[in-house]
Every structure is written in structure tokens, then in C-alpha cells.
Amino acid sequence: MDKVPDLSDVEKRRWVAEVKLLKAYYHFFLFRMYGPIPVIRKNLLVSASIDEVRVPRLPVDSVVNYVVSLIDEATPDLPSQIMNEASELGRLTKPIALSIKAQVLVTAASPLFNGNPGYANFKDKTGVQLFNPTYSVEKWQKAADACKAAITAAEAVGAKLHYYIPESGETVSDSTKLTMNIRSAISDKWNSETIWGASNAYATGVQSLSQARITSSDPSNVPTPPSSNESIRSILSPPIHIAEMFYSNNGVPIDEDIHYDYANRLTKIRTVADKDRFYLKKDYETIQLNFDREPRFYADLGFDGGIWYGQGLYNDSKTWFLQAKAGQFGARLGASLFSVTGYWPKKLVNYKNDFGSNSSGYNVIGYPWPVIRLSEMYLLYSEALNELSGPTEETYKWIDLVRKRAGLKGVVESWANFSKNPTKPNTKDGFREIIQREEMIELVFEGKRLWNLKRWKKAEEYLNLPIRGWDLEQEEAVNYYRVRQIVAPVFTTKDYLWPLSENSIVVNPKLVQNPGW
């Protein structure tokens, strides 16, 4: 950089800092996949010897220390916020750097990497132990400090949880506002909650994959979207266990709620009453699983009988809804363009997309992919505090802020009033289960679930669940709402770390394969 003419010192330092942070991020990305990795501190010379090119894997703690040191080097020379928003939104900032550092340290403190006895004998060819088998609570202290620093830096430049504000001409109920708090936090460009938006990774294709073919509740006045339009792919398919993951409308898991009809969730068919009309199509028949759920369930999922707000209709009395049984508008179309489970990731679809004034097309409005949101930092901080010292008022504070935005009461109040296990939030183990589920719900479909399940060492529990959906070939509700297993995935202990390719090991004999491969 020093050789570049006519570049100010400030620009040079910023560009160098950006490269260092990206280098740290890419090492972190590889670390999550492979665990102990070779660390490349400097570019290898073209004239380097064969032995110099054969770089061995470093222990987990050494990799983490290197990544963190790079972030610490980069942070001071990054701007606190982007001032030239027209041309620079998406470039790296101090809050982004500190948030990545928080993610790194939370990952390093988690069970997969912190005192994991399963890797006690994982060594390189010289006998160096690649995983430290001794648990360290200090790692959670570092993680908590990093989360707090990231939150402080982000809030100092105006970051806050995003709340939906209806535009002029919209007629929106309080119920719809709650669901739109969630949807708009994803798709409203550069909203107050976005810490790092990927400006070169606009979400467009994923929207077409997520958009269901929906029906107007007032077809005489509103055009029906074209059934054969190729821009509506309609194939991303959350399984039933994702639908089961969301809380009840009382803010606790449906299998814990003393009032929820859990036993009949997959068998009982109900007709939608007027009180549920903002979430479900009035007088429509749908399954118990789709009733009495938290607002995020209705914000994030599309399903048979569900209301689909937006897409050109911004009035609660005249909205789209989804009909997914055989022969209906949102059902299977040909050999591929349909959800194989009967659920769709509505959360990823920009509510401002529309079908065009003459039904000739589907207009997708892209948005920068939210790589890091403030809500994630709140939840990671709550998790780190619990692991450090158990549940406290400070621990509850951050998760409750996220729950409040979703229209839920705090964890202590919700569990005390509605759970079969009312004291669950009072213990470290109980709250750990709560905060982990909260992260899975709040961040669903955002690319976080796999990495979280791995670092918690819970992937074997969740990723072996059968992929199930409804019986899509049926026309009547009584037959459509029969659970059908689609595939039985297999996740074993070896899958926590990805394998190195055989070619890599042949080319570089200093590398050792990950356990089990």
C-alpha cells in the first residue's frame, strides 16, 4: 500500500485494516468448518521451498488467537460508521470488526472447541495436541467482554432493534405489525439493526426460491399472480420440526405450554375464527400446529391457510393467503416448483415485492444480506453471560429485548405463568436451553443454525431428525394433514468437522485428517 501514489495515509490505513479483517474472517470461516487449520500469516513466496509450502495445522487455541490478533490490529483504523452511504455502505467498520470478534470468541468458548474430550487424542504428526481438552471459563469471559464491546460500538452509532413503521396508505393491525417487525428487519435495506450488510450479496434469487404462489382474498379487485411465472420458484421447504420449534403465543415451547394442545398438534384440524384473521385465513381449515403460535411463526413461515401480508397488498382487510393442498393455487406445479413439506421461508421474501399491475411478472426488490444483526449480538451476549455466571437480571435483559420486539413477555414471566417447568430460567442449564432455542428461532433461515448446533455439540440431536412434511397429493384437509417422512438424514460425530480432501493430504504430508474420516 505504501507504494501506491496519491493515496492518503488515512485511506492506506483503512484499506490495510479492511484486508486484515477479511483475512481474519476467512480464517474464522475455515476454522468453523475444519477446526485446527494452517495459519497463513504472510503470502508464501513463489520461490518458497516445497517444505515451506507444506504448512501444518495449528492447535485450535493458536488459530483463535491469530484471528483475534488480526481483528485487534484492524479495528483502530476502521471508521465507526460509513459516512459516504451512497457509495460505501457494506464496507467494514469498527462495529463489524468487534461483532466478528464476538462471534469468534463465542465459538471458541463453546463446547465443540472448549474442553471437548472427544478430541483429546487428536494430534498432528509431531504429537502436538490440536484440541485443548481442558475446559476454560475464561474463554466465556473473553466472549462476554467481546459481545458487550460490539453492542456498545454498534449502539454508539445508532444501531437499535428494528421496528416496522407502516408507510402512508397502509392499514395495518397490531398483530401484523409484530410480524412485520421481523420481516422488515431482514429486507428493509440498511435498517437500524443491520451491523453488517453484504452489499455485494443482494438477496434476489433466494426470494424467488422462497416465494409461494399466493391467492388474493379479493380476486375481483386484485390481479392473481401468474401460476407459470418462472421467477417464482417456490421450492425452499422448511420441515415440520422447524414449524414445531417456534413458541406458543405464550412465549414458551409448545411441548411445555400448559395451555397448548400439543398432543393433537399434528392431527387436529380447526376452522379459523375471526380472532385469528390477521395470521390465518378466516373460515379456512388448517392444522392445530398452525394455531396459537408466537408472531415469529407467522412472520417467518408460509403455509396452507396462512396470511401473506405485502407483495402489493398493504391492507389487513385485503391480503394474500396461501392455499397449498392438491389442486389449489399454491400446490405442486409440475415436477419441481413446489415446497416438498408444505412450508415456505416467508421471512426471506421482501414484502415490497409485487406481481406487477397486469400479472405479467414478479418484481423482486433485492436487499443486502444481513450477515450480522444487532439481535444476534444481544443473544450471544446473553448466552455468554449465562455460561459465565448463570442467569442474572443482566442475562435476562438482552434476550428479553429481542422477545419484546417479537411481541413476547420476558423469559421469567413467560415460564412462570405458562410452562410446565416454571423455574427453568432460574438455572444455568435451564436458561442455556432457553437461550439456544431463542437463537434458533430469531435467526432461523439466516445461515446460523448449522454453526450454532455444531458449536453447542447438539448437531447429532437436531440434524438426525427426519425431514417431514404434509401429504401434498391430497385435496381434502383431513388427508392433506397427514405427516409424511421425506428423508431420514444422518449426522454422526465425525460430521462436526469437515474432512480434508485426499489430494490435500497427499500434496501436504504435514496435514492430518479430521477424526472419523
| Distance between CA atoms of residues 420 and 180, nearest Å | 30
- Residue range 149-160: mean pLDDT, rounded: 98
Q: Please enumerate in sequence order all residues whose Cβ is within 8 A of that of 300, keeping only pairs 6 or more positions apart, or say none.
A: 182, 246, 345, 346, 347, 444, 445
Q: What backbone phi and psi angles, to 5 degrees, belong to 207?
A: -70, -40
Report pLDDT for 362: 85
210-248 pLDDT per residue, tens: 999 998 876 665 555 555 455 788 999 999 999 999 999
Above pLDDT 70, what percent of the chain?
97
Report pLDDT for 358: 46
pTM: 0.96
**Identity of residue 246:** F
User: Strand runs (DSSP E) across 295-341, as ranges?
Assistant: 302-303, 307-308, 320-321
Ranges 12-16, 20-24, 39-43, 276-280: which has the least confidence = 39-43
- Residue range 398-415: mean pLDDT, rounded: 98
To 10 degrees, the CA torsion angle through 292, 322, 449, 149? -80
